[in-house]
Chain A
Amino acid sequence: MSAAPADWLDPLPWLDLARVADPSMVERSLRANEPGVREFAALLSPAAASRMEALAQRALALTRRHFGRAISLYAPLYLSNYCPARCTYCGFSAGLRIARHKLTPAELEAELSALKDLGIEEVLLLTGDRATVADYPFVRDSVRLAAARFPNVAVEVFPMSVDEYRGLSVAGCTAVTLYQETYDPVRYEHSHLSGPKRDYHSRLDAPARALAGGIRVAGLGALLGLGEPRFDLLSLFQHATHLRRTFWKGGVAISFPRLRPEPGGYTAAFPVDQKFLAQAIFAFRICLPDVPLLLSTRESPRFRDGMAGVGISKMSVASRTTVGGYDLETVPSGQQFDINDHRGVTTFCAALEAKGLQPVFKNWDAAYREDTASVRAGNARQI
C-alpha cells in the first residue's frame, strides 16, 4: 500500500493487533480508563469476539453514563435520486434504469408535513452525488424549507466546499453526514467507477470542511463489507478522533451502514455478519464513550432492538429510501437500499419502551440557536 492519504490516517500499524490480539490484551482494553486506538484495535479482534457479553456490558454501562436511557430518533427523506456516479453497490447508480425523481418544493412541503404528523423532529435530507438537477442550491433551498418546520435538519448529500457548508449552516443545517464508504484507496477506486465521487481525497476532507464551515456535527461512516472491515473501522476511528481534536467546538457522530445481501444486488467483497457489526459498535462505544452511534432501518427489528441502548444511542425510524415516500401522493421512484425494519413510529417506540428506553424526538436546543431563529423568522415573513 502506498503512503497514507493523510497524516492522521494510518490504520496499518494497528491492523495486526486487530487481527490477532491475545485475550489478555482484550481484557486490558475492556478495563482501560482512557482507551485509545490500541484498545480499539484489540476490541475488534477475534479474541474479543469470544468476550461479546463483556463487551456488551461495558457498552451498556457507557451508553447509560453518557446518554442515559434515551434513544434519539430521526427520519431520512430522499430529496432526489438523480445521480451521475456509478458506484458498484448503490441502488441509485447512474448505470441502473430506475425511476428518477426530484421533489418539487410543494412535494417537499407535503413530505415534511407527513413526517411532522408522525412526530418526527429531526430529518435527514439525502440526495445522490452532485448532479446538475440536484446541486448545492437545491440542497440549500431544501434545508431552508425543512428548517422552518424542523428543529434539527441534517444532510447526507455530496462533498461541498467550506463556503457551501457555511451556506447550509446559515440556512439551518445542523449536521452533515458523509460516509467515506471505504478508506482503502484501492478498494475505493474499484467501487466508484465514474462521477465526482471518484475523488477520494475530496470526500475524505469534506467532514472537516463542514465543521470549518460552522456545521455542528459531522456524521462519519464506512460501508461495511466494501473494504476489509477492520481496516475501515480503524480508519474510521482515526477519522473521528482527528476531527474531535481539530474541531473541539464541533462534534462527530458515527453510523454503521452494512452491505447486506439483496436479491439482484451487489455482493460484498468482505461480508460483515451481525455479530461482527455488534462487536464493532461495542468497540466504538467503549473507546469513544460520548460519541453518538447510529443504526438505521437497514438492520432487522431483532438486531435493532438488541442494540438499542447497548452502544447505539440514535436510530432512524419509519424510513423510506425512495424519493419522498412519506406522503401518500408521492411519485414512485427507485430506492437506494432495502429496508428491513418496517415498523412505524408507534410500534418502534413501544419496543424501545419495553426495553426501558425512552424514545426522544429532540427539539429543544433549536429554540435558542440564532440560525434557527432567523430561518424561522425569514420563513415567517415569506409566508
Chain B
Amino acid sequence: MDLVVNGEAYRHDGQATIADLLRECHAEAGRTAVMVNGDVLRKGSFETVRLSDGDHVELIVIAAGG
C-alpha cells in the first residue's frame, strides 16, 4: 500500500500493522511514538492497529533539545 511516512511517499509491502511498519523501518517499538492521520496512538496498540492505503504516518522519537 502507499503511505506518507514523515511527509514522504512510502511503499509498504508488509502485513499493514503499525508494528510491521516499525520493523520495516528498523524503528524500535519501545522508543517510537506514532501518529496516524493526526491521531496519537497508544503504546500497546501497535500490533493491532492496521494501516490503510493513503494514511499519513508520523514516527517520532526523543532527541536532544528542549
Q: Do any beta carbons of A and B sit within 8 angstroms of each other in the complex? A: no
Interfacial residues, chain A to chain B (CB-CB below 8 A): none
